[in-house]
Amino acid sequence: MFGNFLDQFWSLTFGGLSLGFIYILIALGYTMVYGVLRMINFANSEVFMVGTFATIIIIRDVFKFTQTSEYATGPRLWLILGTALIASMLVSGILSVLIELVAYRRLRRMNSGILAPLISAIGVSMVLAESMRIMTDSRPVASPRAMEKSFIGKFFDADIRLDNTIIIVAAIILLAILMAFVNKTRLGKAIRAVSMNGNAAKLMGINIDGVVSITFLVGGLMTGAAGFFYVLKYENSSFSIGFELGIAAFTAAILGGIGNIKGAFYGGLVLGLLETYASFFLGTQWKAVTVFVILVLVLYTRPNGLFGEAMTQSRA
């Protein structure tokens, strides 16, 4: 068994890493909002789901791909991928801002406490998922293949596939931009200020509503990017996809320490790899059990997650 594992180690690792980066981007949607509002935005899973559909619509309806089309190559391929990525990010980002405006803002102004926004979030989530279910007739929707899943090289014995590489490289670039935004810009500083102490930030003249909207926008953009990468890798989506990936990403956020960008990063990577290795060793049926046993063990020893302590420094 262990010999087999070594044989497959690198292909498992690449698969786990690209899945991990998708988790990271969705986890950011949870963690950034939590950092600023101390609230779990359960609707983020549906923001992701809508993002996957945005990508599918771009590939299938705008660029007219079908399951029997020839694959795109060269500049046209990059145009298609770029358009789909930007479209998913924008759709998810805007949706995320709208959700905050409609479902949370008034509750926050009325100092409703923790439970009302939580229920509101679950409600928004159900409305979005069920609306999509009705629109898709409960069926899974496939994205036609626009890009050939070619092997671009070898790492030890493992084939390196183009889609996994694009996901990992593009996600790292997005994360770098996000870190620069949060740490280097005035807006980023405002977000950090609100997250450290909302009242003090308000007294300093920071427009809290504006900061909250920006936070939802940035979280939505990252989650939308995850939607694009998900479709690039798995080429399908369904109304229920948000729930499935959302739980995993939320777990990643908790594992790493919620409210903390670094936590989302390591939580996502650890979860992606752990799921993949555990499935190989124990059988895929034990994946969820393994992951949650490890989550509980981590929380026993570090109740705030792996990076819980660093919260006040780099919380976003």
Partner 1 sequence: MKKRGLISVAAAAALAAASLVAYAPASNAAAKTITLAFQGPLTGEEAQVGQDELAGMLYAVKLFNAKNKGKYVVKVVRADDQGDPAQAAKVAPGIASNKKVIGLVGAAYSGATIASLPFYKQRNLAMVSPSATRVSITDPAAGAIGFPVFHRVVVTDKVQGPSLFKLATKGVSSPKVFVVDDQSAYGVGLVDYMKPGIPAGQSAGFDSVSDKTTDWSATIAKVKTAGANVVIYTGYFPQAAVFFKQLRDSGYTGVLAGGDGVLSPSFVTLAPASVLEGVRLTAGTVPLADISDKLEADFQKKMGKASGVYAAESIDATNIFLSCVSKGVSTRAAMLKCVKKFKGKSLTGANLSFDKNGDVAGGVMNGFEVKAGKIVFTGPVK
Cα distance between residue 239 and residue 167, in whole Å: 23
Report the alpha-carbon distance of residue 185 to residue 239 in Å, rounded.
37
The angle at the Cα of 29, spanning 26 to 33, to the nearest 5 degrees, equals: 160
Report the residue from 123, 140, 153, 210 that binds partner 1 according to the rule CB under 8 A: 140
Three-class DSSP category at 17: helix
For partner 1, the binding residues in 17-36 under the rule CB under 8 A are 19
Distance of CA 169 to the CA centre of its chain: 15
What is the rounded distance in angstroms from the CA atom of residue 183 to the CA atom of residue 249?
23
Q: How many CB atoms lie within 10 A of CB 197?
A: 11
12 belongs to the binding site for partner 1 (CB under 8 A): yes
Tokens of 23: 């988790």
C-beta of 112 vs 236, nearer to partner 1: 236
Tokens of 82: 């770029």
Supply the minimum distance, in Å, between the C-beta of residue 12 and partner 1: 6
Return the half-sphere exposure (C-beta side, CA atoms, 13 A cut-off) of residue 243. 13
Binding flags for partner 1, 110-139, as an x/- string (CB under 8 A): -----------------------x---xxx
Q: Which of 94, 101, 280, 290 binds partner 1 (CB under 8 A)?
A: 280
Q: Which is nearer to partner 1, 260 or 279 (CB)?
A: 279
The answer to whether residue 63 forms part of the interface with partner 1 (CB under 8 A) is: no
The reply to whether 207 sits near partner 1 by the rule CB under 8 A is: no
In the chain, the amino acid numbered 174 is L
Q: Please pick, from the candidates 34, 235, 257, 269, the single residue that binds partner 1 as defined by CB under 8 A.
A: 235
Residue 236 CA to residue 148 CA, distance in Å, equals 15
- 301 counts as binding partner 1 under rule CB under 8 A: no
244 binds partner 1 (CB under 8 A): yes
- Closest C-alpha to 55, from 21, 105, 30, 89: 89
Task: Assess 245 for contact with partner 1 (CB under 8 A).
Answer: yes
In the complex, minimum distance from the CB of residue 69 to partner 1, in angstroms, rounded to a whole number: 8
Contacts with partner 1, 141-180, as mask; x by CB under 8 A: -x-xx---x-x-------x-x-------------------
Copy the structure tokens of residue 219: 């979280």
Please report, as ranges, the residues that interact with partner 1 according to CB under 8 A.
Answer: 4, 7-8, 11-12, 15-16, 19, 67-68, 133, 137-140, 142, 144-145, 149, 151, 159, 161, 234-236, 238, 240-241, 244-245, 275-280, 283-285, 287-288
